Amino acid sequence: MAFRLTYRRQCRYNTKSNKQRVVKTPGGRAVYQAIKKKAKGPHCGDCGKALIGLPRLRPIEYSRLKKREKRVNRAYGGSRCAHCVRERIVRAFLIEEQKCVKQVLAEKLSQAKEKARVATSVHGLNGILHFASRALNAESVESWSGVAEHEVQESAYAITSFAAADCNWISRMDTKLTNIKLPWEPAAPDLPSSQMSLWKECVARINEHCFRFACRYAASITCVALVTGGEEGGCCVCGLSDGAVGFQKMSAPSGVSRGATLPLLKHTAAVSALAVDERAQWLFSASKDNALKVYDLVRQMMQCETHSPTPTTSMHFEEAQQRLFTGLQNGQIAVWDTSILPLTLLCSIADGSATASRCGAVE
């Protein structure tokens, strides 16, 4: 029986599964070095694309890795790519969004009717805002009809206490959904949901008002106040639902911008009322957690902090007597002495008997 003699190949076939390259050893000898075939690597379970952040290794090499080295901190355990995760989250919101859209469409018709009714009632709006009394030579109230309609129909915002709050359900729902942080985003978007605008009477045309500036905030506006005087000509302040107090100088350039907040002034609850001492340049702010703070607008620092018996709903400062009147949630009016800090509670109007209704305004 003859034996078959097989000679060993000197050079291997350079295929994809059996690649080789020439490597020079330290002794100066050129040898062939085999290159292992790379694994396919993990892919997305929905679209089949390669996942980013995971190494491409053979199965035997994956078994030798640690648990933290073969997994990523992503939604669905890292088994889906960012695009597929986004599609799944959007599909999850579709059902709830359809329910919200049905409710919005039902309210949209009633809002349109209400807006048309308010826009036509020019006489009532002029009586509230006192536009005609500020004009020197206004012939009649009807001359302010165009300005009043423009104020009401300004970008779907409703005027409350000379502040602007978004009353459109569609824009509010879109803002809330868009402000959600998605897994593939570094941070949640901060879109504005409220706006504070400043209008000034035109010197050349007394029947018209000029737009100065607008400040937009992510939190909703609860109250506003106007500070006149001072070295810089005054500023506009507004209480926000996140506990901060926004401000904008009157000398600021015209246009729309992201509003700034006062430094070192932050409540733990939503701001409910504001009052200003224009002579001392002090700002009194109250929140829904019974806190009452005094802030120096010139030095931009806190003066004192106290607490009211119940949450404050409205405030009014009397400069001549140095008294601060605060309307409370239980219907009473508290009187504070501001001549000496910290604030001292002098008395409570209504003889200590709590009423069922809240105090809406103090003048």
Report how many domains make up the chain: 2
Residue 157 lies in a domain: yes
**Residues 296 and 221 both lie in one domain:** no
Q: What is the 3-state secondary structure (H, E, C) of 154-207?
A: CCCEEEECCEEEECCHHHHHHHHHHCCCCCCCCCCCCCCCEEEEEEEECCCCCC
Residue 15 lies in a domain: no
Note the pLDDT of residue 150. Answer: 37
Residue 329 lies in a domain: yes
Return d(Cα 76, Cα 67) in angstroms, integer: 16
Residue 307 lies in a domain: yes
Note the pLDDT of residue 326. Answer: 92
Residue 82 lies in a domain: no
**Residues 240 and 300 both lie in one domain:** no
**Residues 257 and 288 both lie in one domain:** no
**Peptide bond connecting 342 to the previous residue in cis, omega within 30 degrees of 0:** yes
**Residues 237 and 172 both lie in one domain:** yes
**Residues 344 and 298 both lie in one domain:** yes
**Residues 242 and 324 both lie in one domain:** no
Give the structural domain span for 197.
147-177+190-261
**Residues 152 and 209 both lie in one domain:** yes
Q: What does each C-alpha distance from 342 to 77, 134, 288 come to in angstroms?
A: 56, 38, 20
Residue 154, CB-side half-sphere exposure with 13 Å CA sphere = 22
DSSP β-bridge partners for residue 196? 215
pTM: 0.52
> Among 205, 230, 261, where does a domain finish?
261
Q: What does each C-alpha distance from 199 to 70, 124, 129, 255, 261 come to in angstroms?
A: 60, 20, 12, 12, 20
**Residues 235 and 310 both lie in one domain:** no
Residue 27 lies in a domain: no
pLDDT in tens, the chain (363 residues): 555 555 555 556 666 666 777 888 888 888 877 776 667 778 888 888 888 777 777 777 778 888 777 776 666 767 888 888 888 888 777 777 777 777 887 788 777 777 766 655 544 445 545 544 544 444 443 433 333 333 333 444 444 444 444 444 444 444 555 566 666 667 666 677 788 888 777 666 666 667 778 888 888 888 888 888 766 778 889 999 899 999 888 888 888 888 889 998 999 999 999 999 988 889 999 999 999 999 999 888 999 999 998 899 999 999 888 999 999 888 888 999 998 888 989 888 875 555 557 777 777
**Residues 326 and 246 both lie in one domain:** no
Note the pLDDT of residue 161. Answer: 46
Residue 204 lies in a domain: yes
SS3 62: helix
Residue 291 lies in a domain: yes
**Residues 241 and 297 both lie in one domain:** no
**Residues 157 and 214 both lie in one domain:** yes
**Residues 252 and 200 both lie in one domain:** yes
> Among 261, 276, 303, where does a domain finish?
261
